[in-house]
Amino acid sequence: MKERRLIIPQQISRIALYSTPCIIQCIYVSYSNDYMFLTVGLSCLCGSSILYWNNMQNTAIYNIDRSLAVSVLSIKSYIAYNHFCIRGAKIWYTSLLVSAFAYILSLYLFQINKYCIEPDKSQIMKQAVYYHMFFIHFLPTTTFSLCVLHYLPIIEDT
């Protein structure tokens, strides 16, 4: 079966490695707040993302990375629903919705890039990678971490 996903040249795809500190800070916040299942998921996601952005040819790593990303977002959504106050949950789900739309748009940007003329292709691909990094890597990890730090319900000892 012919694969239809776009393979980004390695010198461009490695730019996405700059977003790994976002995952690492989310690992720290998750660990500090005893979200161990999320901590393990994020750690695996960080590893698979590094492997994927270093070698986009490997379909197995691609599938593992996507599965881990969806799993981590699901765990975060579960935590938001069950642990955040209403405002924190609204912020998280709004961020998640924005990231979902941005993911669809980044797929579109990568696909239209296939039909660009060669001088523009590299620049459009770089812009699409930066766009992807901000909306898919930075926004959800940072939003979740800030929500954990500010919108967990305060339980007072009586």
Contacts of 92 (CB under 8 A, 6+ apart): 76, 77, 80, 84, 143, 144, 147
Specify the amino acid at residue 62.
Y
What is the band of 132 on the pLDDT scale with cuts at 50, 70, 90? confident
Q: Whole-prediction pTM value?
A: 0.84
Lookup: tokens for 10:
């390695």
Catalogue the E-assigned strands of 3-152: none
Lookup: tokens for 155:
């339980």
Among residues of the chain, what percentage have pLDDT more than 90?
50
98 and 153 in contact (C-beta within 8 Å)?
Answer: no
- pLDDT of residue 140 exceeding 60, the answer is yes
- pLDDT of residue 49 exceeding 60, the answer is yes
CA trace torsion 112, 69, 48, 82 (10° rounding)? 160
